[in-house]
Structure 1
């Protein structure tokens, strides 16, 4: 069972919905959130089985939060996915793929709220140039939206990007949109090479520098690499503790003895650093 309730999630592990045994292993993997995939990981002739198996799993509460990536709004399976899952007690969130407009989000939010009799947290995946261009409008489309993320494989194809750096503008755009919408920092998209752990670590370091927080994974072996990449270093923890202590002594903007300036934004960042540090204690 996850021990990080109340702390920012760093690891989100995908598992195909038509393989219940893999979903079970994902729930025991130590990931902060399990993402059951009904979309790309499931062949068309397995969609109905994946949906039924996932609904059976989510009839009861699960040891860690489970989000379900349903099929895209314009697919022939989207309505059936929502009908089967929206009201289930074990559903902690819906991941909406290929979102291109606020209307995509509003329609799902309203349907899910009616089915459940309350809000179902929604996470919009932006996978096209149009989705990225509308990032802020999508992020603020409905109060049920709790996060946004990129689907980099589809976005790469849509943009015709040949090198990874070609996605950095879109990544920065997403980070800014999430912050402007008062949403948590987005998590990084999956790193597809499950054996290249050094490459994953370097990619996570780059994502952290851009303002991302945590990452989706497609194999349990990727989880500790993501955790380590996003965990604050000891010097970051020490600095955060100094900032919190200084802020407690005096209100308003001020400087530490070494000249470093602190204000409300710096204190907020220090609080996040200490929250992440508590995950490892």
Structure 2
């Protein structure tokens, strides 16, 4: 991984080990081995076994973290204690009780519930704060669109904002934006990333390596943002409390915290 804050999360089908190996060399910050939607029912056992083999050895220092999107409890039980596992993505979570149940099967494993229905969005904060092993939440936007009957990005602005607020209230990192399904439409991906970033999402899941550079550029701080953050931090060193910069921008503790986050993310550049 090129920085402390991952921006790109690449999904790859668990029943294709050769593709998983390529994904690990793709430049993605995190690889998500998918045992759910990307795998046909008759290949699920094979996918689980292949993934277990991949995770048998601890990850080497600096290696790409491997998460797994599970299909059910059998996957959790089979993979939870393997040394190469960096996290579990839990699909179709609707209640905090489900998180507690799965956390008991995978003690100490970082958990990432996926909210894919209206009911889940309504319970976003209780899910985000359900257990100390929950490290992040995200939407499953394909299923959520179907549940809500909405089309396009605009129809998901409110659910996206809802999980951003829930994650922040629970002390979690900003949610990662869900996948953009058209791997050929890189302009559309860019626009969608810009919209997600404006709502407080940070980073994005991908389904093809060609999407990774677009996501990187869309979420990485710009030169102007970095310069502004550096000016804020320089003013903060004066330790004069709330103050205004020469150009009129107001600087207080909250603004300084945002500038620190920008510079932390800029460490990737």
TM-score normalised to the size of structure 1?
Answer: 0.93
- Equivalent residue for 1:163? 152
**Match among 203, 209, 214 for residue 198 of structure 2:** 209
Query: Which has the higher mean CA deviation after the structures are superposed, 179-188 or 260-269?
Result: 260-269
2:153–2:192 Cα contact (<8 Å) kept: no
Q: Map 1:68-147 onto structure 2 (within 5 A).
A: 68-71=68-71, 78-113=72-107, 119-147=108-136
**Match among 244, 247, 250 for residue 255 of structure 1:** 244
Number of aligned residue pairs = 266
Which stretches in structure 2 are left out of the alignment for 5+ residues?
Answer: none
Give distance in 2, aligned partners of 1:244 and 1:23.
41
Measured at CA, do residues 157 and 234 of structure 1 come closer, stay the same or move farther in structure 2, by a change above 3 Å? same
Note the alpha carbon deviations across 1:44-63, whole angstroms, 9 max, x for none: 10000000000000011332
**Match among 21, 28, 41 for residue 31 of structure 1:** 28
Query: Which has the higher mean CA deviation after the structures are superposed, 104-113 or 242-251?
Result: 242-251
- Cα RMSD between the aligned structures? 1.0
Note the alpha carbon deviations across 1:124-173, whole angstroms, 9 max, x for none: 10000000000000000001000000000000001111333111111111
Query: Which has the higher mean CA deviation after the structures are superposed, 119-128 or 254-263?
Result: 254-263
- Equivalent residue for 2:185? 196
Note the alpha carbon deviations across 1:42-93, whole angstroms, 9 max, x for none: 011000000000000001133211110001xxxxxx2221121000111000
- The alpha carbon displacement at 1:246 in A equals 1.2
Give distance in 2, aligned partners of 1:17 and 1:162.
29
Give distance in 2, aligned partners of 1:134 and 1:140.
10
Give the secondary structure class of the aligned counterpart of 2:136.
strand
Note the alpha carbon deviations across 1:234-270, whole angstroms, 9 max, x for none: 1110010011111122153222222211112111111
1:42 aligns with 2:18: no
After TM superposition, the runs of 4+ consecutive aligned structure 1 residues lying more than 6 A away are none
Give the secondary structure class of the aligned counterpart of 2:138.
strand
2:140–2:178 Cα contact (<8 Å) kept: yes
Q: Map 1:47-66 onto structure 2 (within 5 A).
A: 47-62=44-59, 63-66=63-66
Query: Which has the higher mean CA deviation after the structures are superposed, 165-174 or 123-132?
Result: 165-174
1:151 aligns with 2:140: yes
TM-score normalised to the size of structure 2?
Answer: 0.97
